[in-house]
Structure 1
Amino acid sequence: MSIVKEFLLLKRDLGGLIILFVMPLVLVIAVTIIQDSTFKAVTNSKIQILLVDKDKGSVSKTVFENLEKSKYFTVVTQIDNKLITEETARENVYRGKFQLAIVIPENLSSDLQTKVEQNVEKIVSNLGLTDSTATAEPQRTIKEKEVKLYFDPAVQMSFKNAVMSSIDKMISQIETKSIYSTFQKQLGEETINFEQKNFITFKEIIPRINNKEVLPNSVQHNVPAWTLFAIFFIVIPLSINIVKEKSQGTFVRLRTNPVSNLVVIIGKTITYSVICMIQFYMMVAVAVFLFPSIGLPSLNIEGHFLLTSVVALFSGFAAIGFGILLGTVASTQEQSAPFGATSVIILAAIGGVWVPVFAMPKIMQYIAKSSPMNWGLEAFYDVLLRNSSFVEIIPKISLLFLFFIITTSIALFYDKKKRTV
């Protein structure tokens, strides 16, 4: 009867119940579409780069050719049929019309070649391979050259680092090639063909499940994260219902029955566990069946359905325990609703739902481990992305259940203490 009572309370607020189911679905669809389109925009479309060539030599030509060959960049050297100057490039980038401008300094090619020749001559001379009777010419001092990069102030730091790393690698390859060529000339071996390919390369080894490569995508990251967010949002209606029972006298009538408060708590736990699982299965159904029809990757739940259901159930327990504690401690709905919403957002923020934990400052990474949302999220990732077994996720679901036990026990103790006083 305690369970029936809880369902009757939910039935009276159909609008709130619909919002509880519909809003998370809208949220997960919207966020996944945005992140997936952003991912595709970065990987499938080319970014326009302004190139200001003051060098007019072999280095600038090589930079231009390498950028043009790239899958990610398109080089722009003219605006309105006029060659771009550094001032024009800076103005366009800082106004947000372009994300990046590269300015290659004057005499870069000639000065680079001269500097390399000077260094090679020193090495060859020290090895005794030069004519000792020849008069050494005074060497011209070559100043260091700067390739200037102008970034749109709105671009992310990760984009800046990736571009700077790419440009640095490109320039290093040009310098290496110049050194090889100069050695050939100094040694008089014009026919030597030095191999220019990288000796060390990188290859990503992608995990396999049933001999199929598992490629992580926006859906596999977003569905678990926002499912947890939705599950924890039941804190609000649960705490409000508990406050209503106290303010309307329902709780007093319940206490006059020969039933312990634990039975009432169990009734609430079972009822809201059902709500959590319905939320989870709705999210999964949308990710599996609806996402492909709107151009998003489908959620690969094959072989993981049972374990993800277990994680969702224990995440629901943690959310229910928190809601019961909040409803027990709060005196009014004005206290429980804002505090519940705010606390869920904070737990999501520090738990890694919005920003990956590894990208947080060191102190926040330690704090994140105290969030039940982080435990649930890591358990979901273990199952969906890391192909973990039930034994491997036991520590995380145990923490979730322990959180439920602790919060519920505090709520029971607080209620007993308050009634005793």
Structure 2
Amino acid sequence: MIYKLYQSICKEFLLLKRDIGGVIILFLMPLVLIIMVTLIQDSTLKNLSNTKIPILLVDNDKGSVSNSVFENLQKSEVFSVVTQIDNKPLTEKMAKEAVFKGTFQLAIIIPSHLSSDLQAKIDQNVETIVSSLGFSDSTAVPKKSKLVSQKEVKLYFDPATQLSFKNAVMSSIDKMISQIETRSIYTAFQEQLGEGTTSFEQKSFISFKEIVPRVNNKEVIPNSVQHNVPAWTLFAIFFIVIPLSINIVKEKTQGTFIRLRTNPVSNGIVIAGKTITYLVICMVQFYMMLAVAVFLFPHIGLPSLNIEGNLFLMTIVAMFSGFAAIGFGILLGTVAKTQEQSAPFGATATIILAAIGGVWVPVFAMPHVMQIVAKSSPMNWGLNAFYDVLLRNAGILEILPEIGLLFMFFVITITIALLYDKKKRSV
């Protein structure tokens, strides 16, 4: 049995040897892909962090609120404020046209009398509260309340701007205005109570601090390499589906499979030979991509992938991901009748599994329905297992559910392929 398995493996390697160009592409293209994608994403993140986004600010208020907004935006590491175009003071019409043409991403229009009306409204509210508590001067003549209408700070966005950017900007502006309102309320209470020497603590009582994982007393800060290497390694592993399914179809169309069946060799031995052969290719791909991430990336301006203490678990995840990809390839090759069926379907199916599995777009950013669908993708299982090892310091017990699902996928696809082949031969 061992000899038959060895001969089956040799047969698979001989088939691959006949197409050296295809094998080279199988190894070379994933390496080019991972380098290009990581370089592009890393440079994009660096540009976003080092480059300020110019935004238009139309100040119709000319008061304390607009001055505070302007100062906060200027201090921001994200925005640079533009108040003139072609040496002409901005108007709402000019800003709107510039943004809708795509020249700028954002325009902020501060309404007139915003500062004075805000202060008037706060004074009214504070005076009402103080009076209800009995602290007001009974001999004072009540002031006639000024009717203050609600104010709107208009935001014009470039139609091509992403929703996440819009939400972040609106949240930031809302926070600025809230802080200004809070300071004004404290000041108004001071004036109403007549405690000129009393000062309220206006510093935010609640602050936020990000706690990141630590390994060997060093913070583990996720970067583009830690996200891209596992994702595109999985993509490369699952692309083994294409040559594997094509070779199976070739065997059927050229009569090789029939000759194999006439020999005293079970179908299980043939499939085991294919599994071992292509698993070796998957693991070679995996180690090549790791070598590039560890040794080449630092020389091209990218962070090196830290695999210290994680290589064994990453190898296990890659191996079981390879099993899942091979099972899918064998099933596709068994069902497909021609290469024209297997190759396009294999490529398209791999891309779909990558898309819904979180390789291109993070699962948390998908709609709720797609987040549920993503859990059915073997690439999602493999990606989560890689992230558990690299970013969450998980052990073998934590990744058991994911690798269990990957192996179950392999067993199910192989079983379906065997049953389909048996039924087809019995007809």
Of 9-18 and 165-174, more deviation after overlay is shown by 9-18
Aligned counterpart, 1:165: 171
Distance between the aligned counterparts of 1:208 and 1:137, measured in 2? 60
Distance between the aligned counterparts of 2:261 and 2:136, measured in 1? 103
Deviation at 1:137, TM superposition (A): 3.0
Picking from 358, 366, 372, the partner of 1:360 is: 366
Distance between the aligned counterparts of 2:31 and 2:103, measured in 1? 35
Distance between the aligned counterparts of 1:192 and 1:69, measured in 2? 29
Deviation at 1:138, TM superposition (A): 2.2
Query: What's the secondary structure of 2:107's corresponding residue?
Result: strand
1:27 aligns with 2:33: yes
Aligned counterpart, 1:371: 377
Tell me the percent identity. 76
Deviation at 1:38, TM superposition (A): 2.0
1:351 aligns with 2:357: yes
Query: What's the secondary structure of 2:415's corresponding residue?
Result: helix
Backbone CA RMSD of aligned residues: 1.1
Aligned counterpart, 1:223: 229
Query: What's the secondary structure of 2:56's corresponding residue?
Result: strand
Picking from 142, 146, 149, the partner of 1:136 is: 142
Distance between the aligned counterparts of 2:299 and 2:160, measured in 1? 33
Deviation at 1:212, TM superposition (A): 1.0
Distance between the aligned counterparts of 1:354 and 1:151, measured in 2? 26
1:50 aligns with 2:51: no
Distance between the aligned counterparts of 2:371 and 2:404, measured in 1? 20
Letter in 2 for 1:118: Q
1:266-288 CA-partner distances (Å, limit 9, x unpaired): 11001100110111111111111
Distance between the aligned counterparts of 1:282 and 1:330, measured in 2? 31
1:36 aligns with 2:55: no
Give the aligned length. 421
Deviation at 1:338, TM superposition (A): 0.8
Query: What's the secondary structure of 2:169's corresponding residue?
Result: helix
Deviation at 1:208, TM superposition (A): 0.6
Picking from 292, 317, 320, the partner of 1:311 is: 317
Aligned counterpart, 1:257: 263
Query: What's the secondary structure of 1:328's corresponding residue?
Result: helix
Picking from 270, 293, 304, the partner of 2:299 is: 293
Letter in 2 for 1:365: Q
Structure 2: unaligned runs, 5 residues or longer: 1-6
1:267-319 CA-partner distances (Å, limit 9, x unpaired): 10011001101111111111111111111111111110111011101100000
Query: What's the secondary structure of 1:400's corresponding residue?
Result: helix
Picking from 378, 397, 408, the partner of 1:402 is: 408
Distance between the aligned counterparts of 2:157 and 2:20, measured in 1? 51
Query: What's the secondary structure of 1:302's corresponding residue?
Result: coil
Query: What's the secondary structure of 1:200's corresponding residue?
Result: coil
Deviation at 1:395, TM superposition (A): 1.6
Aligned counterpart, 1:335: 341
Picking from 89, 92, 98, the partner of 1:86 is: 92
Aligned counterpart, 1:204: 210
Query: What's the secondary structure of 2:155's corresponding residue?
Result: strand
Deviation at 1:50, TM superposition (A): 0.9
Query: What's the secondary structure of 2:361's corresponding residue?
Result: coil
Aligned counterpart, 1:115: 121
Aligned counterpart, 2:200: 194
Deviation at 1:44, TM superposition (A): 2.3
Letter in 2 for 1:26: V
Picking from 410, 423, 427, the partner of 1:417 is: 423
Query: What's the secondary structure of 2:128's corresponding residue?
Result: helix
Letter in 2 for 1:400: L
1:241 aligns with 2:260: no
1:176-200 CA-partner distances (Å, limit 9, x unpaired): 1111111111122222222221000
Query: What's the secondary structure of 1:48's corresponding residue?
Result: strand
Which portions of structure 1, spanning 4 or more consecutive aligned residues, are displaced by more than 6 angstroms? Answer: none
Deviation at 1:43, TM superposition (A): 2.1
Query: What's the secondary structure of 1:102's corresponding residue?
Result: strand
Picking from 24, 47, 55, the partner of 1:18 is: 24
Aligned counterpart, 2:330: 324
Letter in 2 for 1:79: I
Deviation at 1:104, TM superposition (A): 0.6
Letter in 2 for 1:33: L
Deviation at 1:60, TM superposition (A): 0.7
1:273 aligns with 2:279: yes
Letter in 2 for 1:309: T
Letter in 2 for 1:298: S
Distance between the aligned counterparts of 1:230 and 1:2, measured in 2? 24
Query: What's the secondary structure of 2:303's corresponding residue?
Result: coil
1:317-364 CA-partner distances (Å, limit 9, x unpaired): 000000000000110001101111111111111111111112222222
Deviation at 1:141, TM superposition (A): 0.6
Deviation at 1:135, TM superposition (A): 3.0
Query: What's the secondary structure of 2:66's corresponding residue?
Result: helix
Deviation at 1:125, TM superposition (A): 1.4
Query: What's the secondary structure of 2:141's corresponding residue?
Result: coil
Query: What's the secondary structure of 1:336's corresponding residue?
Result: helix
Structure 1: unaligned runs, 5 residues or longer: none
Distance between the aligned counterparts of 1:225 and 1:370, measured in 2? 16
Aligned counterpart, 1:68: 74
Deviation at 1:159, TM superposition (A): 0.9
Distance between the aligned counterparts of 2:417 and 2:391, measured in 1? 36
Distance between the aligned counterparts of 1:107 and 1:42, measured in 2? 35
1:3-43 CA-partner distances (Å, limit 9, x unpaired): 11111111111221122111111111121122212222222
Deviation at 1:379, TM superposition (A): 0.6
TM-score by length of 1: 0.98
1:55-109 CA-partner distances (Å, limit 9, x unpaired): 1111111111111111111111111111111111111111111111111110111
Distance between the aligned counterparts of 2:109 and 2:159, measured in 1? 17
Aligned counterpart, 2:130: 124
1:91-141 CA-partner distances (Å, limit 9, x unpaired): 111111111111111011111111111111111211222222333232111
TM-score by length of 2: 0.97
